[in-house]
Structure 1
Amino acid sequence: MYSKMVVDINCDVGEGVENEHLLMPYISSCNIACGGHFGDVNSIDKTIQLAIKNKVKIGAHPSFPDKENFGRLLMQISNEDLKKSIQNQLDLFLERLFLVDEKLHHIKPHGALYNAIIVDEKLAILFIDVIKPYLNDTYLYVPYNSVVEKVALKNNIKIKYEAFADRNYNNDLTLVSRKEKKALITNPISVFEHVYKIISEQKVTTIFNVEKEFKADTYCIHGDNLNALKVLKFLKEEFLKKEISIG
């Protein structure tokens, strides 16, 4: 079937769920944990191999160095320690990629670090300064209309706008806190409706039922979402009906 549109679906992987072999056939790019919130040489290598096998674009997923809280809590850490940690994570990841002659397609920060640089200019500048040397023809995944987007563009960094397919948004386009009941979208039909509205109208409906302008080049499904596989299968089926392919 001829597809009028191609959509990138990304997934956070290499995080200990051990479902990557099931998810990879349904996604087109992946974000592999590289030791901050989860991950070591073995998990990185295993996930890279699965991505290569499934022809999935490979990204690094750096985080606060906080395995205890899975990188999902804002961490009190000095600027120097944070810089060193992110550098160590990316150095390790690029070393593993080099050994299999693969290139880094993108970088996507994880969890609390991702959420912080959306709104905190000083932290966004720090993050961009650290990762800039690693971005040779490489993309940075960022949220639409965020602080980190603006800092990245000022530094001539190539970006792709990311939307979360399985998360709800507040009116200011920040993510609804995972502490709230409606933070996650687990029903496959609801995920599709959420994503298709962004694709077709460039708008998102917030948790307060307000429509906001929104743009996305890539859509994330969290690998630790219990319904991740069901959601991905359903998305693929519904996309086909709309002549949309994943790639």
Structure 2
Amino acid sequence: MSASHKVSYTIDLNCDLGEGFGAYPSASDAQMMKYITSANIACGFHAGDPSKMREAVQLALAHGVSIGAHPGLPDLIGFGRRELAVTAQEVYDMVVYQIGALSAIVKAEGGKLSHVKPHGALYNMAAEREPLAKAVAEAIYRVDPELILYGLASSHLTLAGELTGLRCAHEVFADRTYEGGGTLTPRHLPGAVIRDSAACARQALRMIQYGEATSREGTPIKLKADTLCIHGDTPEALEHALFLRESFKKHGIKVQSVGETK
């Protein structure tokens, strides 16, 4: 392939932040903001509180990072990663509520909310269960149809968003392994979280450049990659971010928020 026909790639690098609570700080937020292009800020249900939300919003605005709401299940003790028996109506209500809370803070700080990405168990449940996916999509659309829905690549969640009329960003993960159906490996299983930064980068590059990953069972999975997530609550998060940015630079991959690629 000639240089003039060289394929170029662009990826959004997002991170779940603002996940402190009360006396417990959001330890990595200030450093992570230097390397990401989109921040998903906890809205108080699984983590975060009004002050932590404001602080995260201020950091994002200072670094030119796109701001997203990160609504979760009402489960502070379980960090929103345990499934709860919620109805579609309850999911709709809690997503509207949490978007509203963060949107008000963003507006008060002179910014604009760009996207919404469900958190943890809510994210996984909506990715696999059509009624919950529709509830999330409808909640976002009714609040603001211009908001972008971040959801698991090629899942019920992104399909529901697209059918509702939302712009969707298909999300892939650098620091998580996949099951054969394209879902994330449950966190209680060994190897669900990738700790090695070089392995994160290898998986990320393959997903961005070739649209595929390898499942935990060793089978290939086709994935659309609009945005790449690294989890801010993992001890290796900052190391992952640095390694990924260096890898992207080496391979000529442009890092840019989804909201800037309209």
- TM-score, normalised on structure 2? 0.90
Write out aligned runs for 1:144-183 (5 A).
144-183=153-192
- Displacement of 1:78 in angstroms is 4.4
Q: 1:82 to 1:144 in 2, by over 3 A?
A: closer
| Distance in 2 separating the partners of 1:153 and 1:79 | 18
Q: What amino acid sits opposite 1:176 in the alignment?
A: T
Q: What amino acid sits opposite 2:233 in the alignment?
A: D
Larger mean Cα displacement after TM superposition, 186-195 or 3-12: 3-12
CA contact (8 A) 2:141 2:147 kept: no
Q: What amino acid sits opposite 2:170 in the alignment?
A: Y
Identity of aligned residues (%): 33
Q: In the alignment, what sits opposite 2:216?
A: 207
| Distance in 2 separating the partners of 1:181 and 1:167 | 11
User: Given the alignment of the two structures, is residue 11 of structure 1 paired with residue 20 of structure 2, yes or no?
Assistant: no
Q: 1:243 to 1:86 in 2, by over 3 A?
A: same
Q: 1:137 to 1:87 in 2, by over 3 A?
A: closer
Write out aligned runs for 1:83-122 (5 A).
83-122=92-131
Q: Matched residue pairs, number?
A: 245
Q: What amino acid sits opposite 2:142 in the alignment?
A: P
Q: 1:79 to 1:235 in 2, by over 3 A?
A: closer
CA contact (8 A) 1:135 1:157 kept: no
Instruction: Give the match's secondary structure for 1:30.
Output: strand
Which of 228, 231, 236 aligns to 1:219? It is 228
Q: In the alignment, what sits opposite 1:52?
A: 61
Unaligned runs of 5+ in 2: 1-6, 21-25, 257-262
Larger mean Cα displacement after TM superposition, 155-164 or 70-79: 70-79
Q: What amino acid sits opposite 2:72 in the alignment?
A: S
Instruction: Give the match's secondary structure for 2:79.
Output: coil
Q: In the alignment, what sits opposite 1:189?
A: 198
- Displacement of 1:205 in angstroms is 0.8
Instruction: Give the match's secondary structure for 2:33.
Output: helix
Larger mean Cα displacement after TM superposition, 95-104 or 124-133: 124-133
| Distance in 2 separating the partners of 1:29 and 1:78 | 29
- TM-score, normalised on structure 1? 0.95
CA contact (8 A) 2:147 2:167 kept: yes
Q: What amino acid sits opposite 1:9 in the alignment?
A: L
Which deviations, in whole Å up to 9, do the C-alpha atoms of 1:162-205 show, x marking residues without a partner? 00110000000111010011100110100000000011111111
Q: What amino acid sits opposite 1:172 in the alignment?
A: G
- Displacement of 1:82 in angstroms is 3.6
- Displacement of 1:7 in angstroms is 1.8
Larger mean Cα displacement after TM superposition, 129-138 or 152-161: 129-138
User: Given the alignment of the two structures, is residue 30 of structure 1 paired with residue 32 of structure 2, yes or no?
Assistant: no
| Distance in 1 separating the partners of 2:212 and 2:89 | 38
| Distance in 2 separating the partners of 1:203 and 1:60 | 27
| Distance in 2 separating the partners of 1:175 and 1:24 | 25
Q: What amino acid sits opposite 1:111 in the alignment?
A: G
Instruction: Give the match's secondary structure for 1:129.
Output: helix
Q: In the alignment, what sits opposite 2:247?
A: 238
Instruction: Give the match's secondary structure for 1:151.
Output: helix
Instruction: Give the match's secondary structure for 1:26.
Output: coil
| Distance in 2 separating the partners of 1:4 and 1:154 | 29
Unaligned runs of 5+ in 1: none
